[in-house]
Structure 1
Amino acid sequence: MPSTYELFRIPVPPSEEDVIKYSQLRLLGLKTNPEAFGSTFEGESKNTHAQWKSRIDKEERFTIIARLVSRDSSETAREEWVGTASILTPTMWARSDADTYGVVGMWVHPEHRRKGLGKKLLEFGIEWVRTRTEGNPTATRLALEVHRGNEGAKKLYDGLAFVESRDELCEDPDRIPLFLVVK
């Protein structure tokens, strides 16, 4: 049964099925790798369906999903959501200057790591930022935070030319602020 990975943006407005699948993926990420997030499973598991929908039903939030699509011998497709990342516009990121976008909620299921999905998620988001800022004469930054002990993620971000920010601080001392100049 051949399988392929596909990336897509959750549409705005999202379908009810997308809201459910997103909440399940997010909660799995929080439970599996709590150190990778700024929030907790305990807190987010209390969210209502309306709260989950509100989170992804925004034009200012570009939520990307990586899914594994498998086809059986009858060509019936089965899909599994295995990774996610969201890009926030400067108004939603609201941490520094007006030209800084933010990456949040980056996570890939452990069984699907080391297959290039993290890089593909970020490249997909970087391209969205480039499209939104085309013609803007000022440099646009894409910022994120990484846990100090997450060597795999630090290597991924380094490979995409993210650098440590000297002028930003994280609320959590176990996190490092990074940024990428998009153009």
Structure 2
Amino acid sequence: YDISPIPYPASNAHMRLYKQLRLASLQIDPHAFGSSYERESQFDESTWRARIDKPDRITFIAHTMNHDDSNGEMMVSCQAWVGSIMILSPEMLHDFNLPLPRSIREEGLSVYVVVGMWVHPNHRNRSLGKRLVLSSLEWAKDSKEKDTEAPKKVLLLEVKQDNHAAIALYAKLGF
């Protein structure tokens, strides 16, 4: 397995594979998301592209690998996309006026938010969730925000109360 970001701008092949993975996640684990297969299966191509092709967010994919991938298209020619995580940057969140805890607002922290974390059940218990979260943390740590003087960053995530596996994973990672 490998963890790779979807490139910006994403190719049509990347978009197709992301859409397949996202819709599968909504069908297999509908309770884990704030959206539904019924809603997102109706999205047109421009809506899907708007989700991925933005400089203010990044999506990491967990995927199996072919060993002969040397042409830079490893994520498209890989055997299967099996997990994903998206991280939203402070620039993206600026327009949303999230109800942040007072301590975060008062400290003026740069806020990143994790959304859409999922690993296919056939590929769980292989540390892919951990690797996806750690990739997101690393991206946020290395990211440079525009027009901000915030010296510190915070990564937020939301998880449904009955998603015990996700809660356990996040707790192990210090959330």
Q: Does 1:110 align with 2:121?
A: yes
Instruction: Report sequence identity in percent.
Output: 42
Q: Does 1:139 align with 2:152?
A: yes
Measure the CA separation in 2 of the matches of 1:117 and 1:109. 10
Instruction: Spell out the pairing of 1:46-125 with structure 2 (5 A cutoff).
Output: 46-70=42-66, 78-93=78-93, 94=96, 95=98, 96=100, 97=105, 99-125=110-136
In structure 2, the gaps of 5 or more residues are: 69-76
Give the secondary-structure state (helix, strand or coil) at the position aligned to 1:69: coil
Give the secondary-structure state (helix, strand or coil) at the position aligned to 1:8: strand
Displacement of 1:99 in angstroms is: 1.4
Measure the CA separation in 2 of the matches of 1:78 and 1:15. 15
Whichever structure has more strand as a proportion of its residues is 1
**8 A Cα contact 1:100 1:141, kept in partner:** yes
**8 A Cα contact 2:82 2:120, kept in partner:** yes
Q: Give the length in aligned residue pairs.
A: 154
Measure the CA separation in 2 of the matches of 1:131 and 1:149. 32
Measure the CA separation in 2 of the matches of 1:61 and 1:138. 20
Give the TM-score normalised by the residue count of structure 2.
0.81
Moved >3 Å (runs of 4+): none
- CA RMSD in angstroms comes to 2.1
Q: Which moved further from structure 2: 108-117 or 140-149?
A: 140-149
| Letter of the 1:117 counterpart | L
- Deviations along 1:7-50, one digit per CA (max 9) or x if unpaired, are 11101100000000000000000011011111111000001112
**8 A Cα contact 1:133 1:140, kept in partner:** no
| Letter of the 1:148 counterpart | Q
Alignment-derived partner of residue 72 in structure 2 = none
- Alpha carbons of 1:78 and 1:87: their partners in 2 closer, same or farther (altered >3 Å)? closer
**8 A Cα contact 2:63 2:78, kept in partner:** no
Whichever structure has more helix as a proportion of its residues is 2
Give the TM-score normalised by the residue count of structure 1.
0.78
